[in-house]
Amino acid sequence: MPELPEVETIARGVDARVRGDRILEAWFGSHREPFKTPSLKQARGLDGRTILAVRRSGKHIVFDLSGPAGAQWIVHLGMTGRLLVTTPDGPVAPHTHARLTLGSGRELRFVDPRRFGRLEFRDLARGEGFAGPGAEPLIIEKADFAKLFRGRRLPIKAALLNQTLLSGVGNIYADESLFRAGIRPRKAAGRLTAAELERLRLALRDVLLHAIRLGGSSVSDYVDADGVRGFFQLEHCVYQRGGEPCRKCGTLIRRIVVGGRSTHYCPHCQK
């Protein structure tokens, strides 16, 4: 499942390739699952629009489109979804569910073998633009971040993963940011001190930005036919390192389950 930094990297890569391009024609496959908006409605909606920008919102990729009131094409990659920018004669991969013919002569394709991805069209003349339910972890300010967790009894790890609080934080970055902030994953969210919350906010932002920076160099792998191959692997401090020595202190990393999710921490470095 792509995490926030991967989605950000993909959005930037696609933006660099298709911004300003016009959608001449849209084709959609016959499997119903990927279409949050019926495919015929999407095809009609996309026809003739210009792609003004492509950006990330939470773990979604939002295409801002031209129009009287504007429109949006919203892509969620699910587990295995990919966006490819290719020439029209490029071989069509199995499990291609959407092909947009672009004015530049290229094609934007959505490929998703497991079909957990979702495509949605929104005409902003008829409804609201897309916004994730939670706050954006890269831009949230100190006071707003602290407010998210006030009075909450659930473990901080579970709170970080709660998409109605923060948008797009997944298991890897929750574990890694808690390690960097020196906070135990089971600690009740509402019991974190102001100093701990601020350490956590900065650690989360740093971990995500670091991953985005590293990922930027492999953007081309993402949008070429080879898909996700080659996306960097952050050198994890704790994530999936249960039983291995902590990189800081040598104590063995512990693996526990919090809120049904596998969780990793250093019992010495995290209090």
- Annotated active-site residue in 12, 56, 59, 199: 59
Nearest residue (CB) to Zn ion, 62 versus 253: 253
In angstroms, what is the minimal distance from the CB of 166 to Zn ion? 25
Handedness of CA 3, 232, 52, 136 (dihedral sign): positive
Side-by-side strand order, sheet with 60-65: 51-57, 60-65, 71-76, 118-123
CB atoms within 10 A of CB 265: 27
In angstroms, what is the minimal distance from the CB of 241 to Zn ion? 11
- Annotated active-site residue in 3, 8, 107, 196: 3
Residue 118, token pair as written in the block: 């979702």
Nearest residue (CB) to Zn ion, 192 versus 246: 246
Degrees to nearest 5, angle at CA 242 with 233 and 257: 105
Considering the rule CB under 5 A, would residue 269 count as an interface residue with Zn ion?
yes
**Please, which of residues 228-247 interact with Zn ion by CB under 5 A?**
246
Q: Is 205 a catalytic site residue?
A: no
Q: Is 196 a catalytic site residue?
A: no
Q: Which residues have a Cβ under 8 Å from the Cβ of 212 and sit 6 or more positions away?
A: 5, 8, 9
Q: Residues for the chain: how many in total?
A: 271
Could you give the C-alpha distances from 244 to 63, 236, 247, 265, in angstroms and in order? 42, 12, 9, 11
Q: Is 147 a catalytic site residue?
A: no
Considering the rule CB under 5 A, would residue 31 count as an interface residue with Zn ion?
no
- Annotated active-site residue in 22, 147, 205, 261: 261
In angstroms, what is the minimal distance from the CB of 269 to Zn ion? 3
Identify each DSSP E strand in the chain by its residue range. 23-28, 51-57, 60-65, 71-76, 82-86, 96-102, 107-111, 118-123, 254-258, 261-265
The strand pair at 82-86 and 107-111 is best described as antiparallel
Nearest residue (CB) to Zn ion, 156 versus 266: 266
Nearest residue (CB) to Zn ion, 119 versus 200: 200
Q: Is 254 a catalytic site residue?
A: no
Helix and strand element counts for the chain (H, E): 7, 10
In angstroms, what is the minimal distance from the CB of 107 to Zn ion? 49
Among the listed ranges 42-50, 93-101, 213-221, 249-257, the one in contact with Zn ion (CB under 5 A) is 249-257
Closest listed residue to residue 166, CA positions, set 134, 140, 198, 190? 134
Considering the rule CB under 5 A, would residue 266 count as an interface residue with Zn ion?
yes
In angstroms, what is the minimal distance from the CB of 201 to Zn ion? 21
CB-nearest residue to Zn ion: 246
Total residues binding Zn ion (CB under 5 A) = 7
Q: Which residues bind Zn ion (CB under 5 A)?
A: 246, 248-249, 251, 266, 268-269
Catalytic sites, residue numbers = 2-3, 59, 261
